[in-house]
A and B are shown apart, each in its own frame.
Chain A
Amino acid sequence: MSEFREIRKRIENYRRGLEERVKETCIIVVLLGAGGEGLRKRRKIRRKLEKNGILGLIPEDDFSPDVAPSVTEEAVLERADVDLIFVNVESWGSATEFAQFHDKKLIAPKLRVLVPYKHHPLYGSSKSYLTDLYLTHLAIYGHVYAYDDEWESIFPTSEKIIVTLSLRYRRLKAIGKI
Chain B
Amino acid sequence: MEEARRMLKIYRVLDNDHRLNILITLFNEPDMAFNDIARETGIERGLLAYHLGLLRRVGLVEMEYDRRSKKSTKYRLTDEGVKILKELKLVKAYKKA
Answer whether residue A168 sits at the interface, using C-beta atoms and an 8 A cutoff: no
Answer whether residue A138 sits at the interface, using C-beta atoms and an 8 A cutoff: no
Answer whether residue A74 sits at the interface, using C-beta atoms and an 8 A cutoff: yes
User: Once the chains bind, are A55 and B9 in contact (CB under 8 Å)?
Assistant: yes
Answer whether residue A128 sits at the interface, using C-beta atoms and an 8 A cutoff: no
Answer whether residue A154 sits at the interface, using C-beta atoms and an 8 A cutoff: no
| Interface majority SS (helix, strand, loop, mixed), chain B | helix
Answer whether residue B48 sits at the interface, using C-beta atoms and an 8 A cutoff: yes
Q: CA of A65 to CA of B44 in the docked complex: distance in angstroms?
A: 15
A63 cross-chain contacts in B, Cβ below 8 A? 49-50, 53
Answer whether residue A71 sits at the interface, using C-beta atoms and an 8 A cutoff: yes
Answer whether residue A172 sits at the interface, using C-beta atoms and an 8 A cutoff: no
Answer whether residue A177 sits at the interface, using C-beta atoms and an 8 A cutoff: no
User: Once the chains bind, are A18 and B47 in contact (CB under 8 Å)?
Assistant: no
* Proximity bits, A13-33, B CB within 8 Å = 1, else 0: 011001101101110100000
Listed in ascending order, the chain B residues whose CB lies under 8 Å from chain A are 1, 4-5, 7-9, 11-17, 20-21, 34-35, 44-54, 56-58, 63, 65, 72-73, 88-90, 93
Q: Kindly list 9 other residue pairs between chains A and B, CB separation below 8 angstroms, not including A26-B8, A57-B50, A75-B50.
A: A4-B20, A8-B15, A18-B8, A22-B5, A55-B54, A57-B53, A64-B49, A79-B47, A80-B51
